[in-house]
Structure 1
Amino acid sequence: MSIVVTGATGALGRLVIDELLAKGVPAGEIAAVVRDEEKAAPLAALGIELRIADYSVPGTLAGAFRSGDRVLMISGSEVGRRVPQHAAVIDAAKEAGVAQFAYTGILGGPEADFELAAEHRATEELILASGLPHTFLRNGWYTENHTGNLAPVLAHGAVLSNAGEGRVASAARADYAAAAAAVVTGEGHLGKAYELSGDVAWSFAEYAAAVAAASGREIAYNPVTPEAHLAVLTGAGVPAPFAEILVDVDLAVGRGRLAGTSGDLARLIGRATTPMERTVAEAVAAVPSAG
């Protein structure tokens, strides 16, 4: 039996691997499902087994899982193609007879009514229909979704959003990784659905204030219409389909869809979630032009 992490070279997957090792799981009991063996070389150097497979090529998934494995399936990154990709993974896991199939979905699960959530809802339905012993990790927003785009905020002195006064209960990506590691190493999680989010829901005005405090610059929150936000994003080179998704997410924030604070994340990791302000400060410090 192995603990199997799919997408193990991605931002979340690598953090999960680090958490598993920090919890004392022997490297030889961890398997990483990856597309690119060369990119995964640092994992192999740690003694982690590599299983080469591609969500988009079902035939490659035949050897990805084995009977009794505990699997963490990290959702694919190719929006619009994820349902058939996820279906192939689910089929392979069922055929192998895995002992646990944990899936990183989205906060709200079947109640999440925005475009980005549609593929997650469909995947949860496929998992339920499969009969796999499952755990749903319904991840809320990563604070890094915002701090990863700090350069233009610092350059223009403004945070733009069409979320109005909506709030976001985000947490650091590492917090979600710690929760995933806890679920695939612990007991009592089968059949459970965890609504994972930060302990505190913040507004975009508060986010702008946090960037200002960390950078020493004046940073304003500029609420804009969905149409204006879309125009700014596409004008900055964001592909129109993805820009539309981002605008739709902000509308969902305005409806309170990413503001839930169930406490599930803090309970799973055994500590408070990382404050937004701390992640912002770390990100600002890493931007060369912020000094």
Structure 2
Amino acid sequence: MKIAVTGASGKLGRLVIEELKERTSAENIVALVRNPQKVADLGVEAREFDYDQAAQQSTTLKGVDKLLLISGNEIGKRLPQHINVIEAAKNAGIKTIVYTSLLKADSSTLGLAGEHIGTEEVLKKSGIPHVILRNGWYTENYTESLQAVIGLGTLYGSSGDGKISSATRGDYAAAAATVLTSEGQEGKVYELAGDEAFTMSDYAAEISRQTGKDIPYVNLPESDYAQALIKSGLPEGLAQFLASSHVSTEKGDLFDDGHQLSKLIGRPSTSLSEAISAALA
């Protein structure tokens, strides 16, 4: 049973492959990546694979039984890229596709939702048995900028009191590896989110507790928050996207209390306090 993972050199892809190696032989795993040299350290077969190169993909996917399609990272280009991969998978005779979608994609107001729903529709029409992993927000979306927040002494955002049920990339990687290495998953749609929900005020309070510094949360109007991000050096498009995602948080798009993630991986999801502690270390 050959299992291939797209985007294998990315942060999530690498973690999925490490999780797969704990569940199956490395000989059964294929890393799909633009530059195979980038994943030489993973100790699995690596094949050159580009989301944009449709002609190359069918050949590259030959002999693969299950494919994890990790959504591309180029917002606005992802749907055509995913269509390329799904068509190539069909031509290569892949038996199952597992796709990383977005939490509550069919009702979410996040700007990312459209491309994910579009991909889910293409998968349904493809006739290929598939599993949808609707991943919630990564806790790392917050903790990767932790040092900047500490430096400022204030956490800014536009999330109000919106609850966030985030989990770490490691948690989502464990879920993907579990699905890829177990039978009877086809046709399932998983809404995956962390066990513990928190607000941005809760996040600021936990940073304060662990650092011993008083770091308050200041809620800004969306436009003001976007401008603050631009002034901090972010490109305008990214700043607008991040600000709008904060507003979606207030609308409840990042909250879910179904606990499907922890049930799937057989352990609690990583807590906010653990994630902050790891980031500070």
Moved over 2 A (4+): none
Q: CA offsets per residue over residues 198-240 of structure 1, 9 Å max, x none?
A: 0011000100011111212111101111011000111111111
Counterpart CA distance in 2 for 1:260 and 1:114 is: 15
Is it true that 1:94 corresponds to 2:112 in the alignment? no
Counterpart CA distance in 1 for 2:260 and 2:67 is: 20
Counterpart CA distance in 1 for 2:99 and 2:216 is: 37
Q: CA offsets per residue over residues 155-201 of structure 1, 9 Å max, x none?
A: 11111110111010001110000000000000121000000000011
Is it true that 1:11 corresponds to 2:11 in the alignment? yes
Contact 1:211 1:284 in 2 (8 A): no
> Per-residue deviation at 1:67?
5.0
Q: TM-score, normalization: structure 2?
A: 0.97
Contact 1:15 1:177 in 2 (8 A): yes
Counterpart CA distance in 2 for 1:109 and 1:253 is: 14
Q: What code does the residue aligned with 1:16 have?
A: V
Q: Which residue in 2 is equivalent to 1:254? A: 250
Q: Which residue in 2 is equivalent to 1:288? A: none
Is it true that 1:191 corresponds to 2:191 in the alignment? no
Structure 2 unmatched ranges of 5 or more: none
Q: What code does the residue aligned with 1:8 have?
A: A
> Per-residue deviation at 1:109?
2.2
Structure 1 unmatched ranges of 5 or more: 286-291
Contact 2:157 2:219 in 1 (8 A): yes
Q: CA-atom RMSD, angstroms? A: 1.1
Q: TM-score, normalization: structure 1?
A: 0.94
SS of the residue 1:168 aligns to: coil
Q: What code does the residue aligned with 2:253 have?
A: R
SS of the residue 2:133 aligns to: strand
Counterpart CA distance in 2 for 1:117 and 1:149 is: 24
Q: Which residue in 1 is equivalent to 2:21? A: 21
Query: 236, 242, 251: which is aligned to 2:238?
Result: 242
Q: Which residue in 2 is equivalent to 1:222? A: 218
Counterpart CA distance in 2 for 1:33 and 1:67 is: 13
Counterpart CA distance in 2 for 1:181 and 1:66 is: 21
Equivalent runs, 1:63-212 vs 2, <5 Å: 63-66=59-62, 69-212=65-208
SS of the residue 1:152 aligns to: helix
Q: CA offsets per residue over residues 216-271 of structure 1, 9 Å max, x none?
A: 21111011110110001111111111111111111110000111121110011001
How many aligned residue pairs are there?
281
Q: Which residue in 2 is equivalent to 1:282? A: 278
> Per-residue deviation at 1:38?
1.8
User: What percent identity do the matched residue pairs reach?
Assistant: 42
Q: Which residue in 1 is equivalent to 2:54? A: 58
Counterpart CA distance in 2 for 1:19 and 1:171 is: 16
Q: What code does the residue aligned with 1:33 have?
A: L
Q: What code does the residue aligned with 1:254 have?
A: E
Contact 2:2 2:63 in 1 (8 A): no
SS of the residue 1:209 aligns to: helix
